[in-house]
Chains A and B, each alone.
Chain A
């Protein structure tokens, strides 16, 4: 039978089942269940749990663990994720597989502790410096918190890239029935780049400071080549009633659930509405959006922000259809009825 569990805890279970070796964190609401649970569970499993002295330290500890080939993660909420950006940029430059979890809360600044989706830009456009990308996953249920955390380490190792799970206080705090259906991962691929001591082999180095002529330029080209492959292979999304839809809502995470309810209400009133939900925010499902942008179709981006993902929707639509927006930030929640009103307005 399914187990009733919080999204935050489901995420922990997914990471642990995936063979998480080390967790480093620092408390902040609304993600506190993650370090709290890890502090008990990781110790029981004789794995590593460290409450660091700061978010910055925790992220750098992840870097240190990842460079030895261990599966490591950190988690925080919006203001704490801002603090981690230096290490995230370094991990992207060093090509270190790792997991960073952002259980978003209201911002800017310290903001409040309500669920929010205002860190989209930071997550997908590069919150730190340099030309880099994170693979950004967006679960919309406790079940997906478990599954996406489980899958994230394979993705991270496959592409030697940090992965971010971008979720929010609502998905993190809510309890839902979750089916724990993944097997414990034991065998990881051999990594020929990890730093584990060079006894009996040639020394290796993993660097992001590349000062010699042309080396950094080449490194950047290599990174971009990698990102192209990720963009080609790893886009994931869900569509709901898009086949005949004249109004297509784009929404991720908690917003996508509310949007789906609104779409069901709209269908009852004979309005052809549908949902396109990105499961990966980067790479973004641009191609499917492009193919849905037919004549007579209208798009509506619903977010708990004042309009961030809408920019990527517009780039994908590329002027072929109108793209409208509905959103609230700072703890406001868009309701089904508000979405329905907007859909009706657009259907006129």
Chain B
């Protein structure tokens, strides 16, 4: 398996942390992973992003050449990365602030992550991890989809039975590591991941 995942949003929406959590989840499962940030002088109102690559083999470039998964936490991010996505890509769009009534070339998973974080988790800052939970579920669903190909490698289809894919469990245990310096945030972020995971059907 080989996934190139882009997490993008406004600066401050937690795109770097969300990426870190996915990378940490990959480590928990004994997979190879790289994380790469956009580290430029990002414009206010523009997009920040991080790229996470997860693979069962050694990883070459940490920069995504053929991304096959996207978390778009705002509309500019969706517009920016949409042209690089293919029909078999898995895209989570934050429908709390991204309009659903537009025509999109690819089927999106609309998840109101900001609303879920605010109303269900009672902490709007956890929207990024709600999105991570949603992505993990969507990737699982699409594992069974023969159209889904691993980025850059034609014909490689992951299997659900394969332990070596990102799982909810690995993301939850990654929380313990990612928030080890702030243990009071472990539980609330686990809840956020679980809520996002549960939302996607």
Contacts and interface: CB of A to CB of B under 8 A. Distances in A.
B60 interface: yes
A105 to B, nearest CB: 11
B10 interface: no
A113 B39 contact: yes
B63 A333 contact: yes
A176 interface: yes
A175 B34 contact: yes
Contacts of B27: 1-2, 4, 177
Q: Point out which of A30, A169, A175 has the most chain B C-beta atoms below 10 A from its C-beta.
A: A175
Nearest to A113: B40
Contact of A258 (B33, B37, B61): B61
Interface string A23-36: 00000011000000
A225 B27 CA distance: 47
Which interface residue of A2, A30, A335 has the most chain B CB atoms within 10 A?
A335
B173 to A, nearest CB: 11
A276 interface: no
A336 B23 contact: no
A84 to B, nearest CB: 22
A254 interface: yes
Contacts, number: 59
B141 interface: no
Contacts of A170: 36, 61-63
A336 B34 contact: no
Interface residues of B, number: 21
A98 interface: no
A175 B39 contact: no
Interface in A1-48: 1-2, 4, 29-30
B58 interface: yes
Given A4-B35, A175-B34, A336 B61 contact: yes
A328 to B, nearest CB: 12
Nearest to A173: B39
B39 A254 contact: no
Nearest to B39: A173
Contacts of A113: 39-41
A174 B65 CA distance: 15
Most buried by B among A30, A174, A259, A333: A174
B97 interface: no
A164 B173 CA distance: 39
B68 interface: no
Contacts of A260: 58, 60
B183 interface: no
Contact of B60 (A1, A4, A30, A258): A258
B61 A261 contact: yes
Contacts of A258: 60-61
A177 B62 CA distance: 13
Nearest to A176: B34
A115 to B, nearest CB: 9
A280 B105 CA distance: 48
B164 to A, nearest CB: 15
Given A113-B40, A260-B58, A336-B152, 15 more contacts: A2-B27, A4-B33, A169-B39, A170-B61, A173-B37, A174-B36, A176-B62, A177-B27, A177-B33, A254-B61, A258-B60, A260-B60, A261-B152, A333-B63, A336-B60
22 contacts: A4-B33, A29-B39, A30-B39, A170-B36, A174-B35, A174-B36, A174-B62, A175-B23, A175-B34, A175-B35, A176-B34, A176-B62, A177-B33, A260-B58, A260-B60, A261-B61, A262-B60, A333-B61, A333-B63, A335-B61, A336-B65, A337-B65
Interface of B: 20, 23-24, 27, 33-37, 39-41, 58-63, 65, 152, 177
Interface of A: 1-2, 4, 29-30, 113, 169-170, 173-177, 254, 257-262, 333, 335-337
What 10 pairs across the A-B complex have the smallest Cβ distances? A261-B60, A175-B35, A174-B62, A257-B60, A258-B61, A174-B36, A335-B65, A258-B60, A177-B27, A176-B34
